[in-house]
Amino acid sequence: MTIRRRELLLGVPAAGAATLLAGYGSAGARAPGPGPTGQLELYSWWTDGPEQNGLLALLTAFKGRAPLLTCYNGARSSRAATRPQAELERRLAAGDPPDTFQCHAGAELTELVAAGRLAGLDELYHRQGWADLFPTALLPQLRSGDSYYCVPVDIHRANLLWSNPAVLERAGAEPAPGSVAALLENLRRVARTGVVPLAVGGSWSRKHLLETVLLAALGPEGWSALWSGQGWGGPRVAAALRDFRDLLELSNLADPAMLGWEDATELVGGGRAGYQVMGDWAEGYLRGSLGLRPGAGYAWAAAPGTAGIFQYLSDAFTLPVGARHREAALAWLAECGSLDGQVAFNGAKGAIPARLDLPEQTRALFGPYARWSLDEWRGGRIVGSLTHGAVAPTAWNARIDTALADFLGHRDPGRFQAALVAAAAPATRA
Ligand code: GAL
C-alpha cells in the first residue's frame, strides 16, 4: 500500500493553529543553527484538529532550528475510530520504519522494546540531562531494562468528567459529582430535560469510561493490583461493572454517529449532552475546535470517585531500529524533550509539559484547565491508563476489548466479570 505523505510543515502552522503558547514556543528563544538537513518522516496519529495543531506547533519550533529539513507525517488521517497503527506495525515488521513514531510511555513502550523495534536513547538523555528534568515517577515508564527508549512530549490525564454548564443548570445537576452513584443521580436529572445525559464516543471511548469506573471502585492500589492480575474476580470489580452498565443505560451508546471521542465532545460542547468522561485532549477540542470558553462553555472535574488521583498517560516519540534519517530523528527527539518544544506543543494540544522546569511566567500563559492540571499532576496520586498504553500490553488490551464488545451485546455484569478474569489469566501466568 502506498503511503500518502502529508506535508505537515511549510514553516507555519495551518490557519487557526497558532496559539499564544505556540507562538511562545517558536519565538526565537534559541538561535536557529544549521541543524540537520534532508528529510524526517515522523509517524503520528495527530492528523486532525487541536491534536494536529499541537504537532504543528512542535514542528514549527523545530523548524526554527532545522530550517533546511523537510518534515512530513507518513500516517494517513485517523479521525475517529481507527488509528494508523496497523500500517505502522507492517512497516516496522518489514524493516521499513519511519524516522520516528509516536507511542505511549509504559506498557506499550516495553512491548515495542521487547519486539526489538526501538533503539536506545541513553546518550541523548545524558546529553540533555533529562533524568533530572522529567518527573521521577515517569522515568521508569520511559525505560525498558536500564535504558531509555522514548522521549515524552506531554502528560495527559484520562480520568476527567467534562460537562456543559448551561445544560447542567437547566437540569439542576452539578459539574463535580463525588461518586459514580452521584453521577448517576445527576444523569437522571439531565435525562428529564430531554438531552443526552452521558455522551459516549465510539471505539475505545467505552473502555476509557470503564477504566475510570474501575478506578473509582478500586482506588489507586486496587487499580494497580489489577495489572499484576489481582482482584479481577472480587466484589469491587463486580460493583464497578454494575455501575458501568447503569451509566451506559443513561448514555447515547446506540447512536451510530458516535465514531470517535470528538463526536461525543461536540454533543457536550453544543449543549446536546450533559456530560462526557474523556481525557484532557477534550479540552483542546472544546477550546480550540469549538471555540468555547473554559468555565462558561464547558466545565471539568475529576471523574466521579477519583478526586486526587491522576490517571496519566504520556505521548512520546521514539527512534526505530533502522531509521534512515537518524541524525534528523535525534534532533527531533531533542526538540520533543526541550522546554520550548513542550510549551509550544502542549499549549495547542490541551496537555501539560512532562518537564518539571516550567518557569512561573510561562505557566501563567497556560489556560485555567492546564494550570489546574499542573497542580493536580504535582499533588495527585499517579496511576496509569489502560486505554492509552500505560498499564497493560496490547494482547491483554485486546482480550479486554473482546470482553467489552461482548458485554455491550449481552449487558450481563457477571458474565463480563468472568470474561475479564479470563482475560487476566495469561498475564498472571506470564
Ligand atoms: C491518546 C493520546 C492522546 C490523544 C488521545 C485522543 O491515546 O495519547 O494524545 O491523541 O488518544 O486521540
pLDDT band at 348 (very low <50, low <70, confident <90, very high): confident
Q: What is the model's pLDDT at position 11?
A: 30
How many Cα atoms within 13 Å fall on the side-chain side of residue 156? 26
Ligand 1 and 91: CB distance under 6 A:
no
Question: Quick check: CB of 283 below 6 Å from ligand 1?
Answer: no
- Is 143's C-beta closer than 6 angstroms to any atom of ligand 1? no
Q: Among the atoms of ligand 1, which is closest to the Cα of residue 313? A: 8
Q: Checking DSSP bridges between strand 150-152 and strand 196-198, what pairing results, if any?
A: unpaired
Please write the tens of the pLDDT for every residue from 13-55: 333 333 444 433 333 345 556 788 899 999 999 988 889 999 9
Atom of ligand 1 nearest to the CA of 46: 10
C-alpha cell at 427: 498475564
Q: H helices of 13-134, where?
A: 20-25, 49-63, 85-93, 107-114, 122-128
* Residue 286 Cα to ligand 1 middle (Å): 15
Residue whose C-alpha is closest to residue 350's, from 7, 19, 9, 11: 19
Indicate which atom in ligand 1 lies nearest the CA of residue 45. 10
Contact 313 CB / ligand 1 (< 6 Å): yes
What is the rounded CA–CA span in Å between residue 89 and residue 158? 25
Q: Which domains does the chain have, with CATH numbers?
A: 2-156+313-383 (3.40.190.10), 160-305+393-429 (3.40.190.10)
**Is the shortest distance between the CB of 99 and ligand 1 below 6 Å?**
no
| pLDDT category of residue 350 using cuts at 50, 70 and 90 | confident
DSSP-derived secondary structure for 317-360? EE-BTT-S-HHHHHHHHHHHTSHHHHHHHHHHHS-B-S-S---H
Work out the mean pLDDT of the chain and round it to a whole number: 91
Best mutation site among 55, 156, 311, 349 for ligand 1 pocket (most ligand atoms within 8 Å of CB): 156
Which among 388, 391, 394 is the best mutation to test ligand 1's pocket, defined by most ligand atoms within 8 Å of the CB? 388
Instruction: Quote the CA–CA distance of 309 and 306 in Å, as a whole number.
Output: 6
pTM over 0.75: yes
Residue minimizing CA distance to atom 8 of ligand 1:
315
pLDDT tens digits for range 266-280: 999 999 999 999 999
* 211 C-beta closer than 6 A to ligand 1: no
- Specify whether the CB–CB gap between 62 and 332 falls below 8 A: yes
CA–centroid distance, 326 to ligand 1, in Å, is: 26
pLDDT tens track for 107-138: 999 999 999 999 999 999 999 999 999 999 99
Ligand 1 atom closest to Cα of residue 51: 10
Q: Assess contact for 356 and 348: CB atoms under 8 A.
A: no
30 C-alpha to center of ligand 1: Å?
Answer: 29
Phi, psi dihedral angles at 18 (to 5 degrees):
-70, 135
62-66, 250-254, 404-408: range with lowest mean pLDDT: 62-66
Q: What is the DSSP letter of 311?
A: E
Nearest CA to ligand 1 atom 6: 281
- Regarding the beta carbon of 281 and ligand 1, being less than 6 Å apart is answered yes
Closest residue (by CA) to atom 11 of ligand 1?
388
- Give the tens place of pLDDT for each residue, 288-318: 999 999 999 999 999 999 999 999 999 999 9
Alpha carbon 216 to its chain's center = 19
CB atoms within 10 A of CB 1: 7
